[in-house]
Structure 1
Amino acid sequence: MTADFDEEDLPSGTELEELESELPALARIRRFATAATRVDWFAHVGEHPGPRTMDMAEHYADALGFPDARVALVTDWAEAAAAAETLDFDAAAWEMEEQLRAALTMDALDRLSEDALQVALTHVAATVHEPITTSVDEALAIWDERPDELRDLAVGSAIQACHQAALVLAAEAEEDHPFALRFRLFEGGRWPIGIAGLSFNLF
Protein backbone atom coordinates (compact mmCIF):
# COMPACT_ATOMS: atom_id res chain seq x y z
CA MET A 1 0.00 0.00 0.00
CA THR A 2 1.43 3.36 -1.01
CA ALA A 3 1.00 6.37 1.25
CA ASP A 4 -0.57 9.48 -0.23
CA PHE A 5 1.53 12.63 0.09
CA ASP A 6 0.10 16.10 0.25
CA GLU A 7 2.42 18.60 -1.39
CA GLU A 8 1.50 21.12 1.29
CA ASP A 9 3.11 18.84 3.90
CA LEU A 10 6.45 18.78 2.09
CA PRO A 11 9.12 21.24 3.29
CA SER A 12 9.62 24.28 1.12
CA GLY A 13 12.95 25.16 -0.44
CA THR A 14 13.58 27.69 2.33
CA GLU A 15 12.75 25.14 5.02
CA LEU A 16 15.11 22.63 3.45
CA GLU A 17 17.89 25.21 3.40
CA GLU A 18 17.29 25.92 7.09
CA LEU A 19 17.46 22.21 7.91
CA GLU A 20 20.68 21.80 5.94
CA SER A 21 22.24 24.79 7.67
CA GLU A 22 21.52 23.22 11.07
CA LEU A 23 23.12 19.87 10.29
CA PRO A 24 26.78 20.80 11.06
CA ALA A 25 25.89 22.16 14.50
CA LEU A 26 23.69 19.18 15.30
CA ALA A 27 26.45 16.81 14.20
CA ARG A 28 28.95 18.58 16.50
CA ILE A 29 26.60 18.24 19.44
CA ARG A 30 25.96 14.57 18.67
CA ARG A 31 29.72 13.90 18.55
CA PHE A 32 30.12 15.75 21.83
CA ALA A 33 27.45 13.60 23.49
CA THR A 34 29.19 10.44 22.29
CA ALA A 35 32.57 11.67 23.54
CA ALA A 36 31.06 12.59 26.91
CA THR A 37 30.11 8.96 27.50
CA ARG A 38 33.83 8.13 27.52
CA VAL A 39 34.80 10.71 30.15
CA ASP A 40 36.24 9.31 33.40
CA TRP A 41 33.59 11.03 35.47
CA PHE A 42 34.58 11.58 39.13
CA ALA A 43 37.62 9.33 38.75
CA HIS A 44 40.01 11.71 40.52
CA VAL A 45 37.83 13.40 43.13
CA GLY A 46 39.65 14.02 46.39
CA GLU A 47 43.09 13.71 44.81
CA HIS A 48 45.53 16.59 45.02
CA PRO A 49 45.26 18.46 41.70
CA GLY A 50 48.26 19.15 39.52
CA PRO A 51 49.28 22.61 38.27
CA ARG A 52 47.28 22.27 35.04
CA THR A 53 44.06 21.54 36.93
CA MET A 54 44.67 24.40 39.36
CA ASP A 55 45.35 26.81 36.50
CA MET A 56 42.15 25.75 34.77
CA ALA A 57 40.15 26.12 37.98
CA GLU A 58 41.50 29.63 38.55
CA HIS A 59 40.83 30.50 34.92
CA TYR A 60 37.24 29.29 35.30
CA ALA A 61 36.60 31.42 38.38
CA ASP A 62 38.10 34.45 36.66
CA ALA A 63 36.13 33.88 33.44
CA LEU A 64 32.91 33.47 35.42
CA GLY A 65 33.46 36.92 36.90
CA PHE A 66 34.98 36.06 40.27
CA PRO A 67 38.70 36.86 39.94
CA ASP A 68 39.10 37.08 43.73
CA ALA A 69 37.74 33.59 44.34
CA ARG A 70 40.34 31.09 45.47
CA VAL A 71 40.27 27.37 44.77
CA ALA A 72 39.18 25.47 47.88
CA LEU A 73 40.04 21.79 47.66
CA VAL A 74 37.28 19.49 48.88
CA THR A 75 38.68 16.31 50.40
CA ASP A 76 35.75 13.90 50.73
CA TRP A 77 32.15 13.26 49.68
CA ALA A 78 30.61 14.58 52.90
CA GLU A 79 32.41 17.89 52.40
CA ALA A 80 31.38 17.86 48.74
CA ALA A 81 27.72 17.43 49.67
CA ALA A 82 27.92 20.31 52.15
CA ALA A 83 29.60 22.53 49.55
CA ALA A 84 27.00 21.65 46.91
CA GLU A 85 24.16 22.49 49.28
CA THR A 86 25.61 25.93 50.08
CA LEU A 87 25.37 26.85 46.40
CA ASP A 88 21.63 27.35 46.88
CA PHE A 89 22.42 30.34 49.08
CA ASP A 90 24.96 32.01 46.78
CA ALA A 91 22.86 34.14 44.47
CA ALA A 92 25.77 35.94 42.78
CA ALA A 93 27.33 32.85 41.18
CA TRP A 94 23.93 31.41 40.28
CA GLU A 95 22.83 34.65 38.62
CA MET A 96 26.06 34.86 36.63
CA GLU A 97 25.60 31.31 35.33
CA GLU A 98 21.99 32.09 34.41
CA GLN A 99 23.08 35.18 32.48
CA LEU A 100 25.67 33.15 30.59
CA ARG A 101 23.16 30.39 29.88
CA ALA A 102 20.60 32.89 28.58
CA ALA A 103 23.18 34.60 26.36
CA LEU A 104 24.35 31.29 24.91
CA THR A 105 20.77 30.22 24.28
CA MET A 106 20.08 33.42 22.35
CA ASP A 107 23.23 32.94 20.27
CA ALA A 108 22.37 29.29 19.67
CA LEU A 109 18.89 30.25 18.46
CA ASP A 110 20.52 32.50 15.87
CA ARG A 111 21.98 29.31 14.39
CA LEU A 112 19.38 26.66 15.20
CA SER A 113 15.62 26.56 15.39
CA GLU A 114 14.13 26.25 18.86
CA ASP A 115 12.97 22.71 18.10
CA ALA A 116 16.39 21.64 16.82
CA LEU A 117 18.15 23.07 19.88
CA GLN A 118 15.72 21.35 22.24
CA VAL A 119 16.14 18.02 20.46
CA ALA A 120 19.94 18.36 20.60
CA LEU A 121 20.03 19.21 24.32
CA THR A 122 17.58 16.42 25.14
CA HIS A 123 19.76 13.99 23.18
CA VAL A 124 22.82 15.04 25.17
CA ALA A 125 21.08 14.54 28.52
CA ALA A 126 19.67 11.16 27.50
CA THR A 127 23.03 9.97 26.16
CA VAL A 128 25.16 10.89 29.17
CA HIS A 129 22.77 10.03 32.00
CA GLU A 130 23.57 6.32 32.27
CA PRO A 131 27.39 6.54 32.01
CA ILE A 132 27.50 9.42 34.48
CA THR A 133 25.27 7.58 36.95
CA THR A 134 27.41 4.45 36.64
CA SER A 135 30.58 6.46 37.24
CA VAL A 136 29.11 8.13 40.32
CA ASP A 137 28.04 4.77 41.74
CA GLU A 138 31.54 3.39 41.15
CA ALA A 139 33.19 6.41 42.77
CA LEU A 140 30.92 6.21 45.81
CA ALA A 141 31.63 2.49 46.13
CA ILE A 142 35.39 3.11 46.03
CA TRP A 143 35.02 5.64 48.84
CA ASP A 144 32.64 3.30 50.69
CA GLU A 145 29.97 6.00 50.69
CA ARG A 146 26.24 5.43 50.77
CA PRO A 147 24.54 7.03 47.74
CA ASP A 148 21.71 8.89 49.52
CA GLU A 149 21.55 12.48 48.24
CA LEU A 150 25.17 12.45 47.10
CA ARG A 151 24.32 10.43 44.02
CA ASP A 152 21.66 12.85 42.80
CA LEU A 153 23.81 15.91 43.53
CA ALA A 154 26.80 14.58 41.62
CA VAL A 155 24.83 13.19 38.68
CA GLY A 156 22.80 16.38 38.34
CA SER A 157 25.90 18.56 38.41
CA ALA A 158 27.64 16.52 35.70
CA ILE A 159 24.58 16.43 33.44
CA GLN A 160 24.22 20.20 33.88
CA ALA A 161 27.85 20.61 32.79
CA CYS A 162 27.13 18.60 29.64
CA HIS A 163 24.08 20.76 28.93
CA GLN A 164 26.15 23.91 29.34
CA ALA A 165 28.97 22.59 27.15
CA ALA A 166 26.48 21.64 24.45
CA LEU A 167 25.14 25.20 24.53
CA VAL A 168 28.69 26.47 24.01
CA LEU A 169 28.93 24.31 20.89
CA ALA A 170 25.50 25.31 19.62
CA ALA A 171 26.30 28.99 20.07
CA GLU A 172 29.78 28.57 18.55
CA ALA A 173 31.23 30.34 21.59
CA GLU A 174 34.91 30.61 22.46
CA GLU A 175 36.80 27.57 23.74
CA ASP A 176 37.63 29.41 26.97
CA HIS A 177 33.99 30.14 27.78
CA PRO A 178 33.38 29.46 31.49
CA PHE A 179 31.04 26.57 30.70
CA ALA A 180 33.66 24.98 28.45
CA LEU A 181 36.25 25.29 31.22
CA ARG A 182 33.87 23.78 33.75
CA PHE A 183 33.27 20.78 31.50
CA ARG A 184 37.02 20.29 31.05
CA LEU A 185 37.43 20.12 34.82
CA PHE A 186 34.83 17.35 34.84
CA GLU A 187 36.73 15.73 31.97
CA GLY A 188 39.74 15.57 34.24
CA GLY A 189 37.80 13.43 36.70
CA ARG A 190 37.08 16.28 39.11
CA TRP A 191 33.86 17.74 40.46
CA PRO A 192 33.90 21.54 40.12
CA ILE A 193 31.15 22.09 42.66
CA GLY A 194 30.90 25.83 42.30
CA ILE A 195 31.62 29.22 43.80
CA ALA A 196 30.36 30.19 47.23
CA GLY A 197 31.53 33.51 48.59
CA LEU A 198 35.20 33.83 47.70
CA SER A 199 35.79 30.08 47.39
CA PHE A 200 35.63 27.90 44.31
CA ASN A 201 34.98 24.45 45.72
CA LEU A 202 36.76 21.76 43.72
CA PHE A 203 36.50 18.08 44.61
Structure 2
Amino acid sequence: MTDDDDFPEIDDDTYAQLEREAPVLSRLKRFADGLDRASWFSHLGEAPTLKVRAAAIAYVEALGFPDAQLAILPTWEDAAGSAETNDWASAPWEAEELARADLTGRALEIVSQEALEIGLAMVAQQVGKSAKDAMEEQASLWDVVDESDQRLAVGAAAQAAHGMGLLLIAAAADPDIDVTEHPFATKMRLFELGRWPVSVIGGTFNVF
Protein backbone atom coordinates (compact mmCIF):
# COMPACT_ATOMS: atom_id res chain seq x y z
CA MET A 1 0.00 0.00 0.00
CA THR A 2 1.45 3.34 -1.04
CA ASP A 3 1.31 6.18 1.41
CA ASP A 4 -0.53 9.25 0.13
CA ASP A 5 2.49 11.33 1.09
CA ASP A 6 4.41 9.68 -1.75
CA PHE A 7 2.35 11.61 -4.31
CA PRO A 8 3.20 15.26 -4.96
CA GLU A 9 0.41 17.70 -4.38
CA ILE A 10 -0.65 19.56 -7.52
CA ASP A 11 -2.56 22.75 -6.91
CA ASP A 12 -5.33 24.18 -9.08
CA ASP A 13 -3.03 26.65 -10.83
CA THR A 14 -0.70 23.85 -11.89
CA TYR A 15 -3.60 21.81 -13.24
CA ALA A 16 -4.83 24.84 -15.17
CA GLN A 17 -1.37 25.36 -16.65
CA LEU A 18 -1.15 21.72 -17.74
CA GLU A 19 -4.59 21.94 -19.34
CA ARG A 20 -3.48 24.97 -21.35
CA GLU A 21 -0.14 23.50 -22.40
CA ALA A 22 -1.23 20.01 -23.46
CA PRO A 23 -3.20 20.96 -26.60
CA VAL A 24 -0.58 23.53 -27.61
CA LEU A 25 2.26 21.02 -27.38
CA SER A 26 0.13 18.46 -29.18
CA ARG A 27 -0.28 20.90 -32.08
CA LEU A 28 3.46 21.48 -32.11
CA LYS A 29 4.12 17.74 -32.18
CA ARG A 30 1.86 17.36 -35.23
CA PHE A 31 3.86 20.08 -36.95
CA ALA A 32 7.15 18.42 -36.01
CA ASP A 33 5.93 15.01 -37.18
CA GLY A 34 5.05 16.48 -40.57
CA LEU A 35 8.47 17.97 -41.21
CA ASP A 36 9.82 14.78 -42.75
CA ARG A 37 7.21 15.20 -45.51
CA ALA A 38 8.59 18.57 -46.62
CA SER A 39 10.35 18.69 -49.99
CA TRP A 40 13.55 19.95 -48.41
CA PHE A 41 15.98 21.44 -50.97
CA SER A 42 14.47 19.42 -53.83
CA HIS A 43 14.03 22.33 -56.27
CA LEU A 44 17.13 24.43 -55.66
CA GLY A 45 18.08 26.81 -58.47
CA GLU A 46 15.03 26.02 -60.57
CA ALA A 47 12.83 28.62 -62.24
CA PRO A 48 10.17 29.76 -59.76
CA THR A 49 6.73 28.23 -59.92
CA LEU A 50 3.61 30.30 -59.30
CA LYS A 51 3.50 28.94 -55.75
CA VAL A 52 7.10 29.97 -55.13
CA ARG A 53 6.46 33.45 -56.51
CA ALA A 54 3.33 33.82 -54.38
CA ALA A 55 5.13 32.69 -51.22
CA ALA A 56 8.08 34.99 -51.93
CA ILE A 57 5.84 38.01 -52.48
CA ALA A 58 3.84 37.20 -49.35
CA TYR A 59 7.05 36.90 -47.31
CA VAL A 60 8.59 40.24 -48.25
CA GLU A 61 5.23 42.00 -47.91
CA ALA A 62 4.59 40.52 -44.47
CA LEU A 63 8.14 41.36 -43.41
CA GLY A 64 7.64 44.98 -44.44
CA PHE A 65 9.68 45.12 -47.66
CA PRO A 66 7.06 44.91 -50.43
CA ASP A 67 9.36 46.42 -53.06
CA ALA A 68 11.94 43.63 -52.81
CA GLN A 69 12.14 41.69 -56.06
CA LEU A 70 12.56 37.92 -56.25
CA ALA A 71 15.92 36.77 -57.60
CA ILE A 72 16.64 33.08 -58.14
CA LEU A 73 20.19 32.06 -57.30
CA PRO A 74 21.23 29.46 -59.90
CA THR A 75 24.17 27.77 -58.18
CA TRP A 76 25.39 26.60 -54.79
CA GLU A 77 28.24 29.07 -55.00
CA ASP A 78 25.78 31.94 -55.43
CA ALA A 79 23.61 30.74 -52.54
CA ALA A 80 26.51 30.20 -50.15
CA GLY A 81 28.03 33.54 -51.09
CA SER A 82 24.76 35.36 -50.50
CA ALA A 83 24.28 33.64 -47.14
CA GLU A 84 27.81 34.39 -45.99
CA THR A 85 27.67 38.06 -46.98
CA ASN A 86 24.21 38.63 -45.52
CA ASP A 87 24.17 41.67 -43.23
CA TRP A 88 22.95 40.34 -39.89
CA ALA A 89 22.29 43.89 -38.75
CA SER A 90 20.18 44.73 -41.79
CA ALA A 91 16.60 45.97 -41.58
CA PRO A 92 15.12 42.66 -42.86
CA TRP A 93 17.13 40.67 -40.31
CA GLU A 94 16.06 43.00 -37.51
CA ALA A 95 12.43 42.71 -38.65
CA GLU A 96 12.61 38.93 -38.31
CA GLU A 97 14.22 39.17 -34.88
CA LEU A 98 11.53 41.59 -33.70
CA ALA A 99 8.87 39.20 -34.97
CA ARG A 100 10.60 36.31 -33.18
CA ALA A 101 10.74 38.26 -29.91
CA ASP A 102 7.08 39.23 -30.23
CA LEU A 103 5.98 35.65 -30.84
CA THR A 104 8.11 34.39 -27.95
CA GLY A 105 6.41 36.83 -25.60
CA ARG A 106 2.98 35.80 -26.82
CA ALA A 107 3.84 32.11 -26.56
CA LEU A 108 4.89 32.54 -22.93
CA GLU A 109 1.43 33.88 -22.19
CA ILE A 110 0.03 30.40 -22.67
CA VAL A 111 2.91 27.99 -21.93
CA SER A 112 5.74 27.96 -19.43
CA GLN A 113 9.35 28.57 -20.41
CA GLU A 114 10.08 24.89 -19.82
CA ALA A 115 7.20 23.75 -22.02
CA LEU A 116 8.24 26.18 -24.75
CA GLU A 117 11.80 24.86 -24.71
CA ILE A 118 10.59 21.24 -24.80
CA GLY A 119 8.27 21.93 -27.72
CA LEU A 120 10.85 23.80 -29.78
CA ALA A 121 13.48 21.15 -29.01
CA MET A 122 11.09 18.57 -30.44
CA VAL A 123 10.80 20.65 -33.62
CA ALA A 124 14.58 21.15 -33.80
CA GLN A 125 15.25 17.44 -33.46
CA GLN A 126 12.85 16.54 -36.26
CA VAL A 127 13.92 19.26 -38.70
CA GLY A 128 17.55 18.56 -37.96
CA LYS A 129 17.15 14.96 -39.07
CA SER A 130 14.87 15.40 -42.08
CA ALA A 131 16.57 18.50 -43.50
CA LYS A 132 20.04 17.04 -42.99
CA ASP A 133 19.09 13.79 -44.73
CA ALA A 134 17.67 15.74 -47.67
CA MET A 135 20.72 17.99 -47.80
CA GLU A 136 23.09 15.04 -47.96
CA GLU A 137 21.19 13.75 -50.97
CA GLN A 138 21.18 17.14 -52.71
CA ALA A 139 24.85 17.73 -51.90
CA SER A 140 25.66 14.51 -53.71
CA LEU A 141 23.61 15.55 -56.75
CA TRP A 142 25.16 19.03 -56.84
CA ASP A 143 28.64 17.73 -55.98
CA VAL A 144 28.84 20.02 -52.94
CA VAL A 145 31.83 18.99 -50.87
CA ASP A 146 32.02 21.98 -48.53
CA GLU A 147 30.17 20.87 -45.40
CA SER A 148 29.98 24.45 -44.14
CA ASP A 149 27.73 25.31 -47.10
CA GLN A 150 25.51 22.36 -46.25
CA ARG A 151 25.33 23.47 -42.63
CA LEU A 152 24.27 26.96 -43.71
CA ALA A 153 21.28 25.54 -45.56
CA VAL A 154 20.27 23.08 -42.84
CA GLY A 155 20.67 25.79 -40.20
CA ALA A 156 18.41 28.10 -42.20
CA ALA A 157 15.79 25.36 -42.41
CA ALA A 158 16.01 24.76 -38.66
CA GLN A 159 15.59 28.48 -37.97
CA ALA A 160 12.53 28.60 -40.22
CA ALA A 161 10.95 25.63 -38.44
CA HIS A 162 11.74 27.23 -35.07
CA GLY A 163 9.95 30.39 -36.18
CA MET A 164 6.96 28.41 -37.41
CA GLY A 165 6.80 26.55 -34.12
CA LEU A 166 6.75 29.84 -32.21
CA LEU A 167 4.02 31.09 -34.52
CA LEU A 168 1.81 28.08 -33.85
CA ILE A 169 2.14 28.49 -30.09
CA ALA A 170 1.57 32.25 -30.21
CA ALA A 171 -1.51 31.76 -32.37
CA ALA A 172 -2.97 29.53 -29.67
CA ALA A 173 -2.64 32.46 -27.29
CA ASP A 174 -3.93 35.03 -29.77
CA PRO A 175 -6.42 33.77 -32.40
CA ASP A 176 -6.05 37.04 -34.32
CA ILE A 177 -2.54 36.03 -35.43
CA ASP A 178 -2.58 34.94 -39.08
CA VAL A 179 -0.75 31.62 -39.25
CA THR A 180 -0.83 31.57 -43.06
CA GLU A 181 0.50 35.01 -44.03
CA HIS A 182 2.90 35.74 -41.18
CA PRO A 183 6.48 36.10 -42.51
CA PHE A 184 7.55 32.97 -40.63
CA ALA A 185 4.73 30.99 -42.26
CA THR A 186 5.54 32.18 -45.78
CA LYS A 187 9.26 31.58 -45.27
CA MET A 188 8.53 28.06 -44.06
CA ARG A 189 6.34 27.56 -47.12
CA LEU A 190 9.31 28.28 -49.38
CA PHE A 191 11.33 25.59 -47.63
CA GLU A 192 8.41 23.18 -47.95
CA LEU A 193 8.38 23.93 -51.68
CA GLY A 194 11.97 22.73 -51.91
CA ARG A 195 13.66 26.13 -51.95
CA TRP A 196 16.16 27.93 -49.73
CA PRO A 197 15.15 31.55 -49.03
CA VAL A 198 18.64 32.93 -48.48
CA SER A 199 18.52 36.66 -47.87
CA VAL A 200 16.89 40.02 -48.47
CA ILE A 201 19.65 42.38 -49.53
CA GLY A 202 18.84 45.85 -50.76
CA GLY A 203 15.81 45.53 -52.99
CA THR A 204 16.34 41.85 -53.76
CA PHE A 205 14.99 38.69 -52.16
CA ASN A 206 17.51 35.96 -52.98
CA VAL A 207 16.09 32.45 -53.20
CA PHE A 208 17.99 29.32 -54.18
TM-score between the two structures when normalised by the length of structure 2? 0.92
Distance across 2 between alignment mates of 1:90 and 1:201: 17
Q: Deviations over 1:139-159 (max 9, x none)?
A: 111111213311110110000
Specify the alignment match of 1:198 in structure 2: 203
Residues 51-90 of structure 1 aligned to structure 2 (within 5 Å): 51-89=50-88
Task: Tell me, yes or no, if the aligned pair for 1:29 and 1:124 is still in contact at 8 Å.
Answer: yes
Deviation at 1:94, TM superposition (A): 1.2
Deviation at 1:87, TM superposition (A): 1.5
Residues 51-200 of structure 1 aligned to structure 2 (within 5 Å): 51-89=50-88, 91-172=90-171, 173-174=177-178, 175-200=180-205
Distance across 2 between alignment mates of 1:34 and 1:61: 28
3-state DSSP class of the match of 1:71?
A: strand
Runs of 4+ in 1 over 2 A off after TM superposition: 1-7
Distance across 2 between alignment mates of 1:111 and 1:152: 33
Deviation at 1:4, TM superposition (A): 7.3
TM-score between the two structures when normalised by the length of structure 1? 0.94
Q: Which runs of 5+ in 2 are unaligned?
A: 172-176
Q: 1:86 to 1:10 in 2, by over 3 A?
A: same
Counterpart residue type for residue 180 of structure 1: A
Give the paired residue count: 202
Distance across 2 between alignment mates of 1:188 and 1:134: 16
Specify the alignment match of 1:34 in structure 2: 33
Q: What percent identity do the matched residue pairs reach?
A: 42
Deviation at 1:48, TM superposition (A): 0.6
Aligned: 1:20 with 2:19: yes
Counterpart residue type for residue 97 of structure 1: E
Distance across 1 between alignment mates of 2:82 and 2:74: 11
Deviation at 1:51, TM superposition (A): 1.7
